[in-house]
Structure 1
Amino acid sequence: MPLSPQTVTLPGQVRDVAAPGPNGPLVATAYDRDNLSGTVLTALDASGAVLWKHRADGRPYPPLVSVSGTVWIAQRDAGCYVLTELDLAGSVLRSVVLDHEPHEHLGAFVLLADGFCVSWLPAGSSRVVPPGRAPRVARHDESGRTVWSTTILLSSLKPEDTDSAEHPGPPREPRTLTAAHWQPLLVSADRIAAGFADDGSGIGVTLFLDTAHGGVISQTLPGPRSRCAIAAPGEFLIGEQGYSFFRTTRYDRTGMATQRWSSHGLLLIDRHGGIRGPESENIRRLRSRFRGLAENGTLLDGPLLRGCYTTYPALDRNGTAVFWREGRLLTVDADFQLRKLFLSEDDRGVTGRILLLADGLVVFSLGSELLFFRDTGLGPLDDGPWPCGGGNLNGNPVRYQ
């Protein structure tokens, strides 16, 4: 029997979805209808039934689930940023006010074993950065107090080689600043990868910092920073796509580039260290493939893929990736064989990430809807360093080892 999705509509456009484990429940943050400064946190069970809702001030950030199974959301309250912890019944357990200056805006946050890592912006979204102000990365303890803070000095975000014939069209010098749109803050063992970008051009950099003390180890050259992932303890994959850039670079714990591939995609890393995923770019739409990235820098060709808009995939323990791409729910197995599980004319471009739950249940967001696909035949989520967007079901991109 062909698959048919169950659809659950949330109050507004979904920001992200997470879960404490393969049996749920699911927690999703979304805009509060047309209010772009309101967040609704919704909990649902595996059947799609709504369990409870919690409203908060401020635009929605992704919900993060702690190792103990509680849910954290960020909100702006009376001019300051607050992280709120809720249990799985929807009760507020505590609220933590983070140390920051009145003019600063929360870029991104992740949960650490003993507190939080946060990127702070010197101005609001699409606002010109005043002279003398700069972004920073900070580590906060469980009470919100600052453990260390590192100011990030960005004199220019103009790529050095955008004047070449290969990379034409240099962007204007940045006037606004944001946390990188994709994977802005990753923590792996003793290293942090923090991304910042010009809000207008998308040109940005990734800085690698020491987790314990906040010292900057190195930073990437400016470029159109895009999808990133944790590759191993202290190691990261940083993607660039746009302005004729289309590549992925691996950086080790010293901040050195150790490998580069002429591809960019939504990458998955399995428990054996294998890297694969669907390519993601917006120019060569008829030439994108599902690719494997080999250790020697070569590319392994999988099936051709149509279109561009793709959910971040998930990888099961059998090596099969599942993702939604412009109206199609697809799987690609370990031998690069493509299977179409569901076809439609739905080409919505506002997509989330795949959650692969127990019994092959696949859940993801399109706009303000959650889609539930059952009986997909998929196995449990792989336990590699990056088997899905966010690195795990919890949506908290932190690896301690």
Structure 2
Amino acid sequence: MKSPNLSCRDCGHTNPEASPGDRCPECSTVLVPKKVLAKYPNDQVLGRVVGGKYAVVSVLGVGGFGAVYRAVQEPVGRHVALKVVHSQHVQDAEMRARFFREARVVARLSDPAVVTLFDYGEEPTVGLYMVFELVTGRNLGQLLEEGPQDPVWTAYILLQVLRALGEAHHMGMVHRDIKPANMMVVDNNRGQQSVRLLDFGIAKVQAAEGGEASLATREGLVLGTPRYMSPEQAKASVDVDARSDLYSLGVVAYALVAGRNPFERGSVVETIMAHVATPPPPLSPELRVPPAFEAVLMRALEKDPADRFQDADEMAAAIVAAFPHVAFPALSYEFRAAPGRLPSILGAAADLASTPTPSAGMGLAAALAEPIGHQTVSPLPPPEVSPTPTASFSPTMQVV
């Protein structure tokens, strides 16, 4: 697709016949939209080719650890997301080691809800970079602006995220920045919705990868997003594990069904203190959240990690059991588990729906929406007792 608004940052040449990723005919610099150059006049990555094949054409976002760009992969023309670490972090030897350690783990993640890492490396003039698939859709933060969401749709989204987190946790990785902006809802070509989990940018690789990875945590710095961070993150604890991600996901879930964050206050400090010391308020009956699902959220939001769900499998099982009349599509999916860790991913959906007390170790297979991988499990059969609620939120779920 041609754009008359692409220009060269180095010589100012404008080519009305150019397409994104094309080079300047005068100096071979990658052409960039004029409005992007005007907004980021001092950005040194725009218009460059990173890793010998990623032509940077636009800025997608800027964060604490780096910036994310839209790039065009040469010569195939594929659009990708290029994440570059800020230059002040590149010189730190421990930060560099952490970057490559995390990249190796993220590259092994194969769950369909995790954005695929295509490439990573170091460019002398740019620094450290990762190349991800480019995902388009609406993030959950945008959906939150519309008010409370349907509880069953929320559960459907949570189950996909839990499957992805379960795989990451089995590999010894904690995300540490679970928030609505890092979850993208996309529509596939069959009219079905799925969620994609973004940005392992401040993830912590635990001892399974050969030692503690987080320099910033050891220095007592708080990592994460205050509105969604766990109490242990808020206290800058070194004991941040998978249960911290489950807490943050619980905050997201509460916000989705209630239309508001239960801990957000007038300042960052007050918000952090609410995570540490203030229990979440009960949900309004007007929201029509099933009591069993509200109980799941409240357990996820316990201040003490020992009182929460102990892993993603356990939380997923409790969510499925909270909706006995909803047949969440199911599949069988195998983790590439870390050595010595056996994923409990092959549980049956029907078993989960008929089990009154969920327990750790039940499979996430009951939860999932897309028939991917080597084996697909059929949707649930109707339960024996089945009052019929109505639902029109997603063609990928069946109310029985």
Tell me, yes or no, whether TM beats 0.5: no
Q: Which has the higher contact order (CA 8 A, sep 6+)?
A: 1
Q: TM-score, normalised by structure 2?
A: 0.25
Higher normalized strand content (fraction of residues): 1
Q: TM-score, normalised by structure 1?
A: 0.25
Higher normalized helix content (fraction of residues): 2
